[in-house]
Amino acid sequence: MNNQFKQHGAFSWAELMVDEPEKALAFYKDVIGWDVEEMPMSTGTYYVFKADGQPVGGLMAKPQEASHVPNHWGVYVTVDDVDATLSQVEIAGGKAVFAPMDVPGVGRLCSFMDNCGSVLSIISYEDKKV
Protein backbone atom coordinates (compact mmCIF):
# COMPACT_ATOMS: atom_id res chain seq x y z
CA MET A 1 0.00 0.00 0.00
CA ASN A 2 1.34 3.44 -0.93
CA ASN A 3 2.23 5.93 1.83
CA GLN A 4 -0.63 8.33 1.03
CA PHE A 5 -3.03 5.58 2.14
CA LYS A 6 -1.29 5.40 5.54
CA GLN A 7 -0.14 8.95 6.27
CA HIS A 8 -2.51 11.12 8.32
CA GLY A 9 -3.15 14.33 6.41
CA ALA A 10 -2.10 13.07 2.96
CA PHE A 11 -4.34 13.50 -0.07
CA SER A 12 -4.95 9.87 -1.01
CA TRP A 13 -7.79 9.49 -3.50
CA ALA A 14 -9.58 11.41 -6.23
CA GLU A 15 -13.08 10.46 -7.31
CA LEU A 16 -15.19 11.63 -10.23
CA MET A 17 -18.99 11.60 -10.02
CA VAL A 18 -20.76 12.04 -13.38
CA ASP A 19 -24.07 11.58 -15.18
CA GLU A 20 -22.49 9.58 -18.02
CA PRO A 21 -19.76 7.25 -16.70
CA GLU A 22 -19.05 5.61 -20.07
CA LYS A 23 -18.45 8.98 -21.73
CA ALA A 24 -16.09 10.10 -18.94
CA LEU A 25 -14.26 6.75 -18.95
CA ALA A 26 -13.55 7.03 -22.68
CA PHE A 27 -12.35 10.61 -22.23
CA TYR A 28 -9.89 9.87 -19.43
CA LYS A 29 -8.61 6.66 -21.02
CA ASP A 30 -7.80 8.67 -24.16
CA VAL A 31 -6.45 11.79 -22.47
CA ILE A 32 -4.57 10.40 -19.45
CA GLY A 33 -4.13 6.78 -20.50
CA TRP A 34 -5.45 5.27 -17.28
CA ASP A 35 -6.37 1.60 -17.19
CA VAL A 36 -9.74 0.91 -15.60
CA GLU A 37 -10.86 -1.89 -13.30
CA GLU A 38 -14.59 -2.41 -12.81
CA MET A 39 -15.87 -3.15 -9.31
CA PRO A 40 -19.52 -4.20 -9.10
CA MET A 41 -21.23 -2.66 -6.08
CA SER A 42 -24.78 -2.67 -4.74
CA THR A 43 -25.25 0.90 -5.99
CA GLY A 44 -23.79 0.24 -9.46
CA THR A 45 -20.35 -0.19 -10.97
CA TYR A 46 -17.39 1.64 -9.45
CA TYR A 47 -14.49 2.20 -11.83
CA VAL A 48 -10.95 2.32 -10.44
CA PHE A 49 -8.42 4.32 -12.44
CA LYS A 50 -4.96 2.75 -12.48
CA ALA A 51 -1.55 4.10 -13.48
CA ASP A 52 1.23 1.54 -13.86
CA GLY A 53 -1.08 -1.01 -12.25
CA GLN A 54 -1.59 1.08 -9.10
CA PRO A 55 -5.00 2.50 -8.12
CA VAL A 56 -4.97 6.30 -8.32
CA GLY A 57 -8.63 7.31 -8.34
CA GLY A 58 -12.14 6.30 -9.19
CA LEU A 59 -15.31 7.13 -11.07
CA MET A 60 -18.95 6.46 -10.36
CA ALA A 61 -22.35 7.50 -11.63
CA LYS A 62 -23.97 10.20 -9.54
CA PRO A 63 -26.69 8.76 -7.33
CA GLN A 64 -30.26 9.78 -8.16
CA GLU A 65 -30.45 11.96 -5.04
CA ALA A 66 -27.44 13.97 -6.28
CA SER A 67 -28.80 14.63 -9.78
CA HIS A 68 -28.96 18.38 -9.01
CA VAL A 69 -25.22 18.46 -8.20
CA PRO A 70 -22.88 19.24 -11.13
CA ASN A 71 -20.46 16.55 -12.30
CA HIS A 72 -17.35 16.96 -10.17
CA TRP A 73 -14.06 15.63 -8.90
CA GLY A 74 -13.74 15.10 -5.14
CA VAL A 75 -10.66 14.31 -3.08
CA TYR A 76 -10.05 12.27 0.05
CA VAL A 77 -7.56 12.97 2.82
CA THR A 78 -6.28 10.07 4.93
CA VAL A 79 -6.89 10.39 8.68
CA ASP A 80 -6.12 8.11 11.59
CA ASP A 81 -9.70 8.17 12.91
CA VAL A 82 -12.67 9.39 10.84
CA ASP A 83 -15.01 9.84 13.81
CA ALA A 84 -12.48 11.75 15.91
CA THR A 85 -11.61 13.97 12.95
CA LEU A 86 -15.30 14.68 12.27
CA SER A 87 -15.69 15.68 15.93
CA GLN A 88 -12.83 18.17 15.46
CA VAL A 89 -14.52 19.46 12.28
CA GLU A 90 -17.71 20.18 14.24
CA ILE A 91 -15.82 21.86 17.10
CA ALA A 92 -14.07 24.08 14.53
CA GLY A 93 -17.37 25.16 12.96
CA GLY A 94 -17.79 22.64 10.16
CA LYS A 95 -20.53 20.05 9.68
CA ALA A 96 -20.98 16.57 8.27
CA VAL A 97 -22.31 16.34 4.71
CA PHE A 98 -22.34 12.54 4.64
CA ALA A 99 -22.19 10.68 7.95
CA PRO A 100 -19.31 8.27 8.54
CA MET A 101 -19.82 4.94 6.83
CA ASP A 102 -17.86 1.73 6.46
CA VAL A 103 -17.07 0.46 2.97
CA PRO A 104 -16.06 -3.22 3.15
CA GLY A 105 -12.59 -3.82 1.77
CA VAL A 106 -11.83 -0.08 1.72
CA GLY A 107 -12.28 1.63 5.08
CA ARG A 108 -14.33 4.21 6.95
CA LEU A 109 -15.14 7.54 5.30
CA CYS A 110 -17.31 10.65 5.40
CA SER A 111 -17.59 14.08 3.83
CA PHE A 112 -17.82 17.41 5.63
CA MET A 113 -18.21 21.09 4.90
CA ASP A 114 -15.64 23.38 6.49
CA ASN A 115 -16.36 26.75 8.08
CA CYS A 116 -15.97 28.44 4.66
CA GLY A 117 -18.41 26.15 2.83
CA SER A 118 -15.86 23.91 1.08
CA VAL A 119 -16.50 20.16 1.01
CA LEU A 120 -13.79 17.56 1.68
CA SER A 121 -13.88 13.81 2.25
CA ILE A 122 -11.80 11.96 4.83
CA ILE A 123 -10.97 8.28 5.01
CA SER A 124 -9.21 5.75 7.19
CA TYR A 125 -8.22 2.74 5.10
CA GLU A 126 -8.66 -0.81 6.41
CA ASP A 127 -5.17 -1.84 5.33
CA LYS A 128 -3.72 1.01 7.38
CA LYS A 129 -4.14 -1.21 10.44
CA VAL A 130 -2.00 -3.96 8.93
Buried b (16+ CB within 10 A) or exposed e, 59-71: bbbbeeeeeeeee
Per-residue pLDDT at 47? 97
pLDDT 10s digits, 21-60:
999 999 999 999 999 999 998 889 999 999 999 999 999 9
What is the CATH T-level fold of the domain 3-129, as seen in this structure? 2,3-Dihydroxybiphenyl 1,2-Dioxygenase; domain 1 (3.10.180)
Question: From CA 128, how far away is CA 107, in angstroms rounded?
Answer: 9
Per-residue pLDDT at 46? 95
Rounded to two decimals, the pTM is 0.83
The set of residues, in sequence order, having a beta carbon less than 8 Å from that of 118 and lying 6+ positions away, is: none
Question: From CA 78, how far away is CA 100, in angstroms rounded?
Answer: 14
